[in-house]
Amino acid sequence: MSKKEKLTNSFINMFTTSLRTLRQSLLLRHDYLRQAARFSRNYSPLKPRTKAQFESRIIFLTHQIEKGLSHRDFRYGFGKKIFNSLPSMLTGLEKIDANAKNNFVYAYSISVLHEYVRRHQIIGYDLGWQKSLFSSEQWNSIINVPDDPKHACIEINRNDKLLNSTLPFNRLARNRHSIREFSNQKVTAEEIMDAVDLAMTTPSVCNRQPTRVHIVLNKKNISDLLRLQAGINGYPTPPALLVITSDLSAFMTEYERNEGYVDGGLFSMNLLYALESHGLGTCPLNTMFTAKVEKLTRNILQIPDNEIFVLYIAVGHFPEITRTCQSLRFSAKQITTIIK
């Protein structure tokens, strides 16, 4: 090849690379806008419109009651904000679903509300205000659920976790529950590293392994981070906090822009099981921050710009006994569509 031809080729290469990079950059903006529009059309807003949107809000609020009911320091009369919203959401679902009484989410909420009432009635606490917010039909449904303390809460015993490393997968998976109260025993980085090692069996896109784990053991840092996170307020600071991030440097095209959350999510679930099998209790915690909280969090952790937050995992040893939310699940049938 002549010198002139070589120069021409290298110019063409440079030009096409720049064009492709520019195209990627424009597509990235375009696709983010389309993604935002789809999200905006479909998420569950303050005033839901569809059955699924009502159901999401009801599960969210019901879960807050489950959390309050499973709390070690039970606060009678808790949940003012929840009660200001949940009755109207139930009414909304009644309007949209003619068979609401048999709706899984509706019935789940009513049974958790029943447990709330039962726990208060034991000490004769006046629930007049709460009652006034529901329709008389709703209140009757709540009252008429048969008593069962397992509505809303389950009990976790440390002794039941002693053989975790030998459990077959179906028992490990069915016995794992998020706990939010831990024993005072310290957690070491070594204990966590063993579990991280096991979680490295997680598959990732083209084996590029974008997940990163930051282990926070400093109590002040954990407490500052969780105050900003605000999803586990009112619980003692856990002994360890894992920050799961994804390194964006692993991705090569604009359409991989969400891949870090997928790979990081798969890794996180595997890590939750690995920690459980090592006899450690966990609670995944949301890190979908507002821009302001993200900035403050990045500052505390010194997370580099190329890493995005996937989630936190609070980690600790199991206390002798603790309660946690029942967190009822949809059945496989409810969430599956078979395409033949």
Ligand X SMILES: Cc1cc2nc3c(=O)[nH]c(=O)nc-3n(C[C@H](O)[C@H](O)[C@H](O)COP(=O)(O)O)c2cc1C
**List of residues contacting ligand X (CB under 6 A):** 63, 177-178, 180, 231-232, 283-286, 311, 324-325, 327
Q: Which is nearer to ligand X, 141 or 281 (CB)?
A: 281
* Three-state secondary-structure class, residue 330: coil
Q: Of 56, 28, 30, nearest to 42 (Cα)?
A: 56
Angle at 300 between CA 294 and CA 306, to 5 degrees: 55
Q: Of 280, 331, 330, 334, nearest to 172 (Cα)?
A: 280
Is there a contact between 212 and 245 (Cβ–Cβ < 8 Å)?
yes
Tell me how far apart the alpha carbons of residues 157 and 319 are, in angstroms, rounded to a whole number: 7
Q: State which residue has the least CB distance to ligand X.
A: 231
Q: Which is nearer to ligand X, 71 or 131 (CB)?
A: 71
* Three-state secondary-structure class, residue 82: helix
Q: Which is nearer to ligand X, 253 or 286 (CB)?
A: 286
CA dihedral over 7, 9, 12, 13, signed as positive or negative? negative
Q: Which is nearer to ligand X, 138 or 277 (CB)?
A: 277
Q: Which is nearer to ligand X, 114 or 323 (CB)?
A: 323
Q: How far is the CB of 230 from ligand X (least distance, A)?
A: 8
Is there a contact between 117 and 143 (Cβ–Cβ < 8 Å)?
yes
Tokens of 143: 């009252």
Q: Which is nearer to ligand X, 68 or 284 (CB)?
A: 284
Q: How far is the CB of 231 from ligand X (least distance, A)?
A: 2
Q: How far is the CB of 327 from ligand X (least distance, A)?
A: 3
> Angle formed by the axes of helices 51-70 and 86-96, to 10°?
150
Q: Which is nearer to ligand X, 118 or 323 (CB)?
A: 323
Q: How far is the CB of 296 from ligand X (least distance, A)?
A: 17
DSSP state of 40: H
Q: How far is the CB of 232 from ligand X (least distance, A)?
A: 5
Name residues whose C-beta falls within 8 Å of residue 179's C-beta, 6 or more positions apart in sequence. Answer: 156, 281, 282, 283, 316, 318, 322, 324
Q: Which is nearer to ligand X, 55 or 94 (CB)?
A: 55
Q: Of 278, 330, 310, 323, nearest to 177 (Cα)?
A: 323
Q: Which is nearer to ligand X, 196 or 272 (CB)?
A: 272
First to last CA, the chain: 56
Torsion (CA) 36, 334, 96, 87 in degrees, nearest 10: -90
Q: Between the CA of residue 212 and those of 45, 101, 173, 246, 299, what are the distances in Å?
A: 33, 45, 24, 6, 17
Q: How far is the CB of 326 from ligand X (least distance, A)?
A: 8
Tell me how far apart the alpha carbons of residues 245 and 264 are, in angstroms, rounded to a whole number: 7
Q: How far is the CB of 63 from ligand X (least distance, A)?
A: 6
Q: How far is the CB of 109 from ligand X (least distance, A)?
A: 14
**Stated length of the chain:** 340
* Three-state secondary-structure class, residue 310: strand
